[in-house]
Amino acid sequence: MTKIVRKSLSDSPMTVRRKRRLGKLAKRADSAIDFSDIPELTGKFWENAVRNPFYRPVKKQLTLRLDVDVIFWLRKHGRGYQTRANALLRAAMLQDVNQRTS
C-alpha cells in the first residue's frame, strides 16, 4: 500500500522572503500584469465548463452508530451502502446550507 502525500502552500511555513515577495506582488497595479499569454475567460467558457472529473473529496474514517433498521435498509440495496449513506447525508447537508443562505 502506498501513502498518498498531499502538499499545499499552506503546509509550508511563511518565510520572511516569501512575505516580502507576496507584499511586492500585492502592491503591483493590475494594469502592470501581463495577460497576453492567458486568454480571457468569456461567458461561453463557463457555459461549457464541467466540474473536475478527477476531484475526489477527502474521506475521514469514523465510527457512527446507526439504528439497525437504517443499516438494514441501506444494505438491502446491495453493495455500496456506505456510499449511499454518504450521498444521503450530503443531500441533507446541501439542502440545509441552501435553506440557510436563501
- Tell me if residue 32 falls in helix, strand or coil: helix
- For the chain, how many structural domains are there in total? 1
Distances from the Cα of 55 to the Cα of 21, 59, 82, angstroms: 31, 12, 19
d(CA 18, CA 87): 41
Residues 69-80 have pLDDT tens digits of: 999 999 999 999
Distances from the Cα of 41 to the Cα of 9, 19, 38, angstroms: 25, 30, 9
**Within a domain: residue 38?**
no
Residue 31 pLDDT: 86
Residue 1 in this model has a pLDDT that exceeds 60:
no
Residue 56 in this model has a pLDDT that exceeds 90:
no
**Within a domain: residue 85?**
yes
Residue 32 pLDDT: 86
Confidence of residue 4 (pLDDT cuts 50, 70, 90): low
Query: Is the entire prediction scored with pTM above 0.75?
Result: no
**Within a domain: residue 87?**
yes
**Within a domain: residue 10?**
no
Question: Which structural domain, as residue segments, surrounds residue 75?
Answer: 62-102
